[in-house]
Amino acid sequence: MKKLIALVLSLALCMMAASVLADIVICQNKVEITAAMQDFAKLYTEKTGVGVKVITGGGSSDYNTVLKAEMASGREPDIWVIEGPTGYELWKDKIADMTGEEWTKYTAAAYMDGDKVVGFPVAVEGYGLAYNADILAKAGIDPKTLTNVDAYKAAFEKLDSMKSELGLDMVVSMVAGTVPGMTWVTGLHNFNVYLTLGNARNDTTYIDQVLAGKVDEARFHEYCQYVDLLFKYSTQDMLLNGTQDAQLAAFANGKAAFYHQGNWMDPSLVQLNPSFEIAYAPHAFLHEDTDGILVNPPSWYVVNANGNKDEAIAYLNYLATSEDGADYMVNKAAMVPAFTNVTLTPSTPLSKSVMEWNAAGKTYDWQQYKLPDGFGMGTLGPIYELLAQQAIDVDTFEIMMKDAIAGIAK
């Protein structure tokens, strides 16, 4: 009897240990795919016996804060996400060199430091103004014509005048509030439209100016007018109070014709079963035509050189080259993979649209992550909110934005 109890106890202990101990710890920033990622991790554990634990920060909580806390606590993750040069510079000393690893053969989007391959592209992501094709058709607007701000102005006006007919609460589902933590939409993604729209992918003219504390006056003026336009055709309640879920719900339930978010919202979008066609139109804020959406690997996985390096790289290789990995990226997480060996096409609407724009080569770069830490969300974000509160007008908005940008150079 005693032996039996001992056996049961030790078995229980073993099982507990197996479930608690993880060989690879991943710290990542996409709340939307946490469940899919955990399922893939479980599958990986079943196939290889290597335990994987996923820690998530992001959405309304701040990923970088979570990561810094994990690092500071001494439980350094084996794989984590960097979002560009700021993240890379910050953790450079800890990041492993992955040059020549198997996955690097299948992508052109790896994060490079000179000739060294250091980052595994998580996906390709894109954003523009997603539109409800049914509503646009009913209002007689051809989305193909939405390539300059004058076309948008006319379209917004027309939709606004037909609101009750079309069952709309607002024309654009847009968020800008600090209380629900949405300043990344304005201070980072929307601001990037100013930085790169119309430019070649590696052109850094405007970000270099901003980092030197300056803006291109004429272009910036047009940009500010565009922000004002978007805000005017949203509702104040959505702008200030709207969470990521509320913003999505308004669009998915047909209460808004346009939606300012990227294809990372697909997993949540399909859960709401939208009954209409969806695709992206460009963030065309200039009077001249700009026909393209903003596409980039938004983030890369990097591997901890001091951690469980070989296991971590093996995991990434499996992710990029196996059928399970492709299935997870495309079908489960609804991402657009950055790998040429993946032949599956996404079935979800936003990702599909991103893939089409990407295949047509009509894309602009993401450069918002070259801004200093906290600048986009913490310094610019509040100014957008002031405009949304109507506490300032668009001219004051322009002055305050320039003032904040001038502060970078100090």
| Residues within the interface to other proteins (CB under 8 A) | 62, 64-65, 68-69, 71-72, 90-91, 93, 177-181, 237, 240-241, 372-375, 377-378, 382-383, 385-386, 389, 391-392, 400, 404
Assigned token pair, 192: 């990037």
CB of 101 to other proteins, least distance (A): 25
CA dist., res. 145 & res. 160, Å (int): 18
Closest listed residue to residue 258, CA positions, set 340, 170, 341: 170
User: What is residue 24's DSSP assignment?
Assistant: E
CB of 188 to other proteins, least distance (A): 13
Under 8 Å between Cβ of 80 and 301: yes
Of the pair 131, 375, the CB lying nearest other proteins is at: 375
CB of 80 to other proteins, least distance (A): 13
Of the pair 357, 375, the CB lying nearest other proteins is at: 375
78 CB-near residues (< 8 Å, 6+ apart): 23, 24, 25, 26, 303, 304, 307, 308, 309, 311, 312
CB of 187 to other proteins, least distance (A): 11
Of the pair 27, 326, the CB lying nearest other proteins is at: 27
Assigned token pair, 67: 């990561």
CB of 403 to other proteins, least distance (A): 8
Of the pair 254, 374, the CB lying nearest other proteins is at: 374
Of the pair 55, 400, the CB lying nearest other proteins is at: 400
CB of 51 to other proteins, least distance (A): 28
Of the pair 13, 179, the CB lying nearest other proteins is at: 179
Q: At what angle do helices 394-406 and 381-389 cross, to 10 degrees?
A: 170
Query: For the chain, first and last CA: distance in Å?
Result: 76
For residue 4, count other CB atoms closer than 10 A to its CB. Answer: 8
Of the pair 180, 254, the CB lying nearest other proteins is at: 180
- CA angle, residues 97, 102, 106, in degrees to nearest 5: 105
Q: Is 83 helix (H, G, I), strand (E, B) or coil?
A: coil
CA dist., res. 54 & res. 63, Å (int): 13
CB of 18 to other proteins, least distance (A): 30
CA dist., res. 296 & res. 231, Å (int): 25
CB of 384 to other proteins, least distance (A): 9
User: What is residue 170's DSSP assignment?
Assistant: E
CB of 96 to other proteins, least distance (A): 17
**How far apart, in Å, are the Cα atoms of 309 and each of 38, 112, 296, 305?**
20, 18, 26, 6
Of the pair 16, 179, the CB lying nearest other proteins is at: 179
Q: Is 171 helix (H, G, I), strand (E, B) or coil?
A: strand
Assigned token pair, 315: 């995991």
Instruction: Write out the E strands in 193-239.
Output: none
Closest listed residue to residue 210, CA positions, set 10, 408, 3, 12: 408
CB of 386 to other proteins, least distance (A): 5
CA dist., res. 92 & res. 86, Å (int): 10
Of the pair 76, 324, the CB lying nearest other proteins is at: 76
Of the pair 103, 375, the CB lying nearest other proteins is at: 375
